[in-house]
Structure 1
Amino acid sequence: MQAVVFHSFFASLEIVRFQGFIIFNHNRNCKIFLKFHRLY
């Protein structure tokens, strides 16, 4: 029973890390887009 809880805990941790990675990339892409937008 403990192994199942442990596994689900790590699975949720991976999901959170993956979502954080997507948000981080999205913010970086928005900043790059805004920089290019100011040039024109």
Structure 2
Amino acid sequence: LMEARRHLYEDVATAVVATDGRTPEEVTQAALDAVELKEA
């Protein structure tokens, strides 16, 4: 199902964040950085 829909998700994505080999905290920070939000 993911492969069938991948192009749809990519078309509407604001950002794409790689998750392989990253901790949840690293993924969260990368997502925040991608949308230009910073920690308080």
TM-score, length basis structure 1:
0.35
TM-score, length basis structure 2:
0.35
Bigger relative contact order (CA 8 A; separation at least 6): 2
Higher helix share: 1
Between structure 1 and structure 2, the one with the greater Rg is 1
